[in-house]
A and B are shown apart, each in its own frame.
Chain A
Amino acid sequence: MKQQVNRLQPFFENVSFDRDDNHMVVNFGPQHPSAHGQLRLILELEGEEVIKATPDVGYLHRGMEKMGENMMYNEFLPTTDRMDYIASTSNNHSFALAVEKLINVEAPRRAKIIRVMLLEINRIISHLFWIATHALDVGAMTIFLYAFREREFVMDLMEDYCGARLTHSAIRIGGVPQDLPEGFIESMDKFIKQFPIDIKDYEDLLDKNRIWKMRLEDVGVIDQEMAQSWGVSGPALRATGFQWDLRKESPYEVYDEIDFDVPFTDSCDSFGRYKLYMNEMRQSIKIMAQCIPLYEASEAGVMAHAPEYISASKEEIMTQNYALMQHFVLVTQGMRPPVGEVYSATESPKGELGFYINSQGDPYPYRLKVRAPSFWHTGLLQDLLPGHQLADVVTIIGNLNIVFGEIDR
């Protein structure tokens, strides 16, 4: 058969799994207990040492970007939940922010504060999930259940606000769907007081645990050069010594009014990243605590007023003829943003999450592209894994906080 010249490298179909050079080629996934979803990693092993790693993605591909091009902007928002399903609010927010930038609408102040609260709650949910599964991969089973209990409490907060626990859709284009429910501030305050003690619990179990240190220290070393050439972002980038956080670098919402640190370290290894995640949860708590007085000082109103793009309030729709008409058009045909393109990046729990939208003035985006941090971290694996032991592969995959919903989209 004549070879097709234009076929994309590499040929996964042509990987020979039976070799006679003492190397073993194994399929790590897609159905592997620690493949974190649907990662297929083709590993060439010499004994237990990895000499070549080829990550193969696409087993969870749902064509989200294409779906986005065939959906109205508001319709697509709940779909973004299904990308990084561990931190759905950060996806919602990133998309909503991009559209807001496109239509040049700003959310009201109270909505911005609520968004920051939700985003930080979400960051804690995501980081707790990370420490739980990462520890389970390394073998520390108890941490898994400890972290999951606190995760339940944070998810209860989320449930109080939007009714959902996994796919929140808690943010709308132009604001947030509702004001904080009664008692939310109190229960959040209770959580803010309790959670640092719980973080201390995890650290007591892990920080001085010799085996935990043996497994994480000097494993998966990503230096600055590697991080830059592979587009690494988020905690993995901050562990290389860059103090880079989009919340500080290009502040959105009310992050510029809030006093918080960006933890960073130059240890470059998995243990440094673990410490970063722990400190980031502390910072999230700090941010949430500062949001409460800001919230109380803000005036009511959680949706922007831009009747051309965003439906007016229920009351207006019910009382004013023109508002009803606009609402009808917005629901049946969707908003028509001006012609233009926009890229907006936010700091999701996993790194830089960006949405690129190209609008031709139609109710549907002409092109929608997502820059998901995990995708880049997966590509990195082929440079990072060779030279490590098979057991380290699990540590590194877990440590990079890869979520497949967002890689395959």
Chain B
Amino acid sequence: MNENAMIIETIIKAVTILAVFSALAGFTTYIERKILAFMQRRLGPMHVGPAGVLQIAADGIKLFTKEDFIPQNAVKPIFKIAPVITAATAFIALAAVPILPEFILPFTDYVVRPIVADINVGILFVLGAMSVGMYGPLLAGMSQSNKWGLLGAARTVIQLLSFEVVTGLSLIAPLMMIGSLSLIDINNYQTGGLSDWLIWSQPVAFILFLIAGFAETNRTPFDLLEHEAEIVSGYATEYSGMRWGLFFIGEYANLFTVSFLVSIIFLGGFNPLWFIPGGIMILLKISFFIFLFLWVRAAWPHVRPDQLMWFCWKVLMPVAVINILITGIVLI
């Protein structure tokens, strides 16, 4: 394949992922509202369009046409750039995630690999990019000259930094078994059907990673960063319009990234199962995890920041280290 073709292909893939996931972020808000409504004995959005589907469009129009408000004492350049960091890093993280299995483009014999960059340290790259995303809320909170924003930013940093440790440590055990950091390799390791899924050999790591995933994506019960009852809107207090929308899109893109990571690492990724093709399989798994995130949101209250820290450092981290130790002994 010549170089130009590769560049063009990569650009097309990148633009497709950007477009699809931006739209999905909006669509997920609709799904979220509908599922929460279902669990809370109410209807959810239902007036705009059939069953309220066009609510996303209405929300989008509102976000785009809203006044772009910048507080007087804010540090303006940083205030403006912060939401972009969140959204950008969330999509950059998606670059190394294989979205679907390889397929042949219809009417041609061209094989498409639906991953923007198959780098051999894929998982490190994804985690790294996601943790750079922490700068978005941090800078936003510090630049907006609002005390609630500052508190929100402080919470963001302690929460994301702490749970980064758990994410990393919980992944070490399965990676020791696989021996590769590439997400494609991890996926191929589990080709042998249901019994090959890593969730059976690494259940502890799976649970730890899932819990850390809740924290990394700011979902209930760990959504301390913008818990309205306590710190107004946290780092997003002074944001409005599309700047706020970018935080939102970034958050939902992260939600998808984490769902993809869990499905690929622990649940056999996009390998076909029985009669179900791999592409459908991964979509089912993603949908399940999104649903799980919403389900938890409907059922649980929030924890307190100090309880979260206690949970992270005194419960999850020791468990993760012990899990690594046991895995190491078994492997030897």
Binding site for B on A (CB under 8 A): 24, 26, 32-34, 48, 135-142, 145-146, 149, 205, 209, 211-212, 214-215, 389-394
Contact = CB atoms under 8 A, between A and B. Distances in A.
Among all A-B residue pairs, the 3 with the closest Cβ atoms: A139-B302, A139-B301, A140-B301
16 contacts: A48-B306, A135-B301, A136-B229, A137-B229, A139-B229, A139-B301, A139-B302, A140-B299, A142-B298, A142-B299, A145-B42, A149-B41, A212-B301, A390-B231, A391-B224, A393-B230
A146 B297 CA distance: 15
Given A48-B305, A141-B40, A214-B307, A394 B300 contact: no
Contact of B300 (A48, A137, A139, A149): A139
A139 B220 contact: yes
A34 to B, nearest CB: 4
B287 to A, nearest CB: 21
Interface of B: 36, 39-42, 147-148, 150-151, 220-221, 223-224, 227-232, 297-307
A26 B148 contact: yes
Given A34-B228, A142-B40, 17 more contacts: A24-B151, A33-B229, A136-B229, A137-B229, A138-B302, A140-B299, A141-B36, A141-B40, A146-B41, A205-B299, A209-B300, A211-B301, A214-B307, A390-B231, A391-B230, A391-B304, A391-B305
Contacts of A139: 220-221, 223, 227, 229, 300-302
B1 to A, nearest CB: 51
B306 A389 contact: yes
Contacts, number: 80
Contacts of A392: 304
Contacts of B232: 32-33
B305 A215 contact: no
A146 B52 CA distance: 23
Nearest to B307: A214
A394 B42 contact: no
B32 to A, nearest CB: 12
B277 to A, nearest CB: 36
A180 to B, nearest CB: 30
A48 B305 CA distance: 9
B41 A211 contact: no
B151 A138 contact: no
A136 to B, nearest CB: 7
Contacts of A215: 301-304, 307
A182 B101 CA distance: 68
Contacts of A138: 229, 301-302
A139 B302 CA distance: 5
A34 B302 CA distance: 15
Contacts of A391: 224, 227, 230, 302, 304-305
Contacts of B220: 139
A353 to B, nearest CB: 27
Contacts of A389: 304-306
Contacts of B230: 34, 390-391, 393-394
Nearest to B42: A145
Contacts of B231: 390
A140 B300 contact: yes
A50 to B, nearest CB: 12
In the complex, which of the residues A146, A212, A391 has the most CB atoms of chain B within 10 Å of its own CB atom?
A391
A136 B298 CA distance: 11
B274 to A, nearest CB: 35
B301 A209 contact: yes
B297 A141 contact: yes
Contacts of A149: 41
Contacts of A214: 303-304, 307
Contacts of B36: 141
Nearest to B224: A391
Contacts of B223: 139
B275 to A, nearest CB: 37
A211 B221 CA distance: 8
Which of B40, B42, B229, B298 is most buried by chain A, counting CB atoms within 10 A of its CB?
A: B229
A263 to B, nearest CB: 23
A270 to B, nearest CB: 12
Contacts of A212: 301
A24 B147 CA distance: 8
A42 B219 CA distance: 29
A39 B42 CA distance: 31
A389 B303 CA distance: 12
